Chains A and B, each alone.
Chain A
Amino acid sequence: MSLATILIVSLTFGATSGFALFAYGAEKIISYYESRPLVTAFFLDDAAEEEILELRDELLGWSEVAEVTYTSKEQAFSIYSEQFADQPELLESIPTNILPASLDVRTKSLDDLPRVAEFFEGNKLVEEVSFYQDVVARFRNLVTVARCGLLGLTAVFACISIVVVLSTIGLIIYSMEEEIGIMALLGASSTYIRLPFLIQGAVYGVVAALISGGFLAAAILLVLPSFRSFFPNVTIADPSVIFQLSLLGVEVVSGALLGSFGSWLAVNKYLKF
């Protein structure tokens, strides 16, 4: 029964670890997209470089613009060649001036992007404008919903864990009723009788948290690579040792408190001393 209790409590911390890992990855992805040129304007083939550079200079004067980068047609082809260096047949089939020149604009805030996009869309030199604002905003909403869901799940598991610890300790108290009665008649204090049960509950929580720590390590090895494959351009390093140890520390302390609380409820409910 103790093993079942520990496993159920470890679900709580497994959910917490999953939440932490998800939040870690999501933050990396959001940070990546927020740091990339978020509005890209592609220019027509006959747009003169001087005119494009004038647009660049105008944008650099805007307070909401953090960075503007000009990529010429030759530079664009050079980047393309590097990306597909292992596929020379792709390079042979296209002319070197096929790719358009572009301006990449990064703003200080996502909210400033529409104004920059509007600036380009009204311009006769621009063939196409693309920007990630919608993508990032949608991803943020998704992350927020997922976070709330995981937090809710953690809260539910925590409540279930408390009830399970309460029941387990309650059964133990019941099975030790005679022994407890004898100790009371011998003059044992309330603390002497109750403390072992509180410690036992705390131990359940701590062991569960340590098991969850093992789950986290396994998740980093097994799940994170799959997570990365969805976002190939984003660098999501393994969480640092300090992050993992800090999370484990928080979970161990939380486990001790959660287990103790369940035991405390059981002791108050079932012990008459």
Chain B
Amino acid sequence: MILFSEVSKRYPDGTVALDKVSFTVPAGEFACIVGPSGAGKTTLIKLLTREELPSEGEVRFGEREVASLSPREIINLRRELGVIYQNYRLLPKRTAFENVALALEVLGRSDREIREVVPHVLSLVGLESRASHFPYQLSGGEQQRLVIARALAPEPKALIADEPTGNIDPESAWAIFKLLEKINKMGTTVLVATHAAAIVDQLNERVIGLERGRVVRDVKKGGYSGKKGC
């Protein structure tokens, strides 16, 4: 489903964010991209969502090469990718319900469909009682769950999470990852960029390790530092 083939990203100031990165994430898989700050995790996510273009190589989502998509096709790509950001990117003047509903409104879904889907998704992430709350009234963990709900509402083919637990406490962070696991078991491909070492160790899922823009490790079942799995 997701393919990175010899992908490099260089910025005008000479910074090399990614250097010949190659890996494939099949449909239905749960994969963690791990590495320290500056390893290139966020750049990798941005290349996949077409927020940036690679300097070299090929990024594919399904059958499509992301870099060569037309503006219309980029819109379709983003509708198929549910993206979860570290800084939430919630709309502060909208309630939890309305933030999730936005993901369906932009797709042109009917009000009736929105009224059916949003409560279901909020329930899935454990926020059914917080539907009328504004983001500032939610804890960090609740806001991140709300972001997951918004990403999940359009039934994306893949969930892409960029440091989803970067701003929250360990207990809430673990709950987030368990939620992502649950979503993955329902059939959605999940790709998580993280440096939450302890959680990755416990999950025992596929781990792709990045350091200074290069893939240094890619194991089917592993821990953050490579001490678990093969």
Q: Which residues in A have some Cβ–Cβ distance to B below 8 Å?
A: 178-179, 181-190, 192
Contact in complex: B89, A185 (CB < 8 Å): yes
Contact in complex: A187, B76 (CB < 8 Å): yes
Q: Hey, which chain B residues are within 8 Å of A179, CB to CB?
A: 91
Q: Hey, which chain A residues are within 8 Å of B145, CB to CB?
A: none
Q: Hey, which chain A residues are within 8 Å of B75, CB to CB?
A: 187-190
> Is residue B215 within 8 Å, beta carbon to beta carbon, of the partner chain?
no
B210 CB → nearest A CB, Å? 23
A187 to B154: give the CA distance in the assembly, Å.
10
Contact in complex: A187, B71 (CB < 8 Å): no
Q: Hey, which chain B residues are within 8 Å of A181, CB to CB?
A: 89
> Is residue B178 within 8 Å, beta carbon to beta carbon, of the partner chain?
no
Report the nearest A residue to B78, measured CB to CB: A187
Q: Hey, which chain B residues are within 8 Å of A189, CB to CB?
A: 72, 75, 106
Contact in complex: B78, A185 (CB < 8 Å): yes
Contact in complex: B91, A186 (CB < 8 Å): no
A190 to B72: give the CA distance in the assembly, Å.
9
Report the nearest B residue to A179, measured CB to CB: B91
A94 to B98: give the CA distance in the assembly, Å.
90
Contact in complex: A186, B106 (CB < 8 Å): yes
> Shortest 9 CB-CB distances between A and B: which pairs?
A187-B79, A188-B106, A187-B78, A182-B89, A186-B103, A186-B106, A187-B75, A189-B75, A192-B106
Report the nearest B residue to A190, measured CB to CB: B71
Q: Hey, which chain A residues are within 8 Å of B150, CB to CB?
A: 186
Report the nearest B residue to A193, measured CB to CB: B106
A188 to B71: give the CA distance in the assembly, Å.
11
Q: A183's contact among B76, B83, B102, B108, by CB below 8 Å, is which? A: B102
Contact in complex: B71, A185 (CB < 8 Å): no
Q: Hey, which chain A residues are within 8 Å of B51, CB to CB?
A: 185
Q: Hey, which chain A residues are within 8 Å of B197, CB to CB?
A: none
19 A/B residue pairs, CB under 8 Å, sorted by A: A178-B89, A181-B89, A182-B102, A183-B102, A183-B106, A185-B49, A185-B51, A185-B78, A185-B83, A185-B89, A186-B78, A186-B103, A186-B106, A187-B107, A187-B154, A188-B106, A189-B72, A190-B71, A192-B106
A51 CB → nearest B CB, Å? 90
A188 CB → nearest B CB, Å? 4
Contact in complex: B71, A182 (CB < 8 Å): no
Within 8 A of A (CB), among B66-121: 71-72, 75-79, 83, 89, 91, 102-103, 106-108
Per-residue contact bits, chain B 140-174, to A (CB 8 Å; 1 contact, 0 not): 00000000001000100000000000000000000
Q: Which of A179, A181, A185, A187 has the most CB of B within 10 A?
A: A187
A182 to B102: give the CA distance in the assembly, Å.
10
Q: Hey, which chain A residues are within 8 Å of B71, CB to CB?
A: 190
A184 to B77: give the CA distance in the assembly, Å.
11
